Amino acid sequence: MDLYDETCFECSKLITHKYSTSFSLGIKAFAKRFHYPVYAIYGFVRYADEIVDTFHGYNKLKLLTDFKREAFEAIHAQISLNPVLHSFQKIVNEYQIDCHLIESFLRSMEMDLDKTTHNEDSYKEYIYGSAEVVGLMCLKIFCENDDDTYKRLMSQAKSLGSAFQKINFLRDIKSDFEERGRTYFPQINFELFTEADKEKIENDIETDFNNALDGIKKLPRGCRKGVYIAYAYYLELFKKIKSSPAKTISENRIRVTDRKKIWLLAQALLKNKVNAI
């Protein structure tokens, strides 16, 4: 089983490297014992997201329903022939990740199949399920079954996931509307996206970021550096978005260059070395 387990984790690692440069850089900065667990989480959430976002021409509802059923079957049986689900169930069982978090995540993915606009309640539900619970899953890993630390940092972990997701929404506001017909921010008309709309969203993100940074500083040393690298990358992306007019955001996808990402990585490593984070 050891060889099978390893190959399944390596599949999740490959998925992470192929889909996300920024998260791959952050994961490399974790203590080695956290690498496979975080790859497993990323592989699971990425493939669920792919079903609803890119599998056009297929029965997405059936694919997602089957994926959900197979995921919980794997968790219960503690094995799966699907490498992504096998590595995921290993981590769910080892770190005692609450199935409610998984249910909430998959519920948000289901919302993407038929919900194109959101009110305040559905927006909060979607953010919780698509982002905050992912932060909580990772926190479970980082706390290594220390429930007191987990409970103390839950709010900050949710804030970090929320900030990341809202920045993704701003960055992808054009493609979400034009390619998928979605507008995530409540009471926002993409075709009349104003500076006031943008500022309101940015203020909300800043509140999340401020709360999240306090939590990052209290994380165990083995994961703090990696989480801070992801935070630094998204903060840089957020700064670029803030400095861009609403019209630019609605016409172009803002990104951070690979060279800038490497520079941010170096800065984060330096801060960690001098205990600045």
56-69 pLDDT tens trace: 999 999 999 999 99
Residue 164's pLDDT is: 95
Q: Which CATH number fits domain 2-273: 3.40.640.10, 2.60.40.420, 1.10.600.10, 3.20.20.70?
A: 1.10.600.10
pLDDT band at 187 (very low <50, low <70, confident <90, very high): confident
In angstroms, rounded to a whole number, what is the distance separating the alpha carbons of residues 248 and 49?
26
* Rounded CA separation 259/270 (Å): 17
More confident of the two residues 181 and 146: 146
Q: Which residue has 């490498």 as its token pair?
A: 83
Between 25 and 183, the more confident residue is 183
pLDDT of residue 263: 80
Sketch the domain layout of the chain as residue ranges: 2-273
Tens digits of per-residue pLDDT, 129-152?
Answer: 999 999 999 999 999 989 999 999
pLDDT in tens, 86-100: 999 999 999 999 999
**What sign results for the dihedral spanned by CA atoms 251, 255, 257, 260?**
positive
- Give residue 257's pLDDT: 79
Task: Determine the pLDDT at residue 153.
Answer: 97
Per the model's pLDDT, the better-predicted residue between 31 and 268 turns out to be 31
On the question of pLDDT at 224 being above 50, the answer is yes
| 176 or 259, which is more confident | 176
| Of 34-43, 126-135, 176-185, the least confident | 176-185
Q: What is the pLDDT of residue 270?
A: 64
CA distances from 273 to 99, 213, 216 (A): 37, 18, 15
Query: Among 152-166, 235-249, 254-268, where is mean pLDDT lowest?
Result: 254-268
Higher pLDDT, 264 or 228: 228
Calculate mean pLDDT across residues 200-212: 95
Q: Report the chain's mean pLDDT, rounded to a whole number.
A: 92
- Whether pLDDT at 276 is above 60: no
The stretch 261-270 carries a mean pLDDT of: 72
Query: Has residue 110 got a pLDDT over 80?
Result: yes
User: Higher-confidence residue: 275 or 219?
Assistant: 219
Percentage with pLDDT > 70 across the chain? 96
Find the helix packing angle between 99-114 and 120-127, rounded to 10°: 130
So what's the pLDDT on residue 274? 45
* pLDDT tier for residue 33 given thresholds of 50, 70 and 90: very high
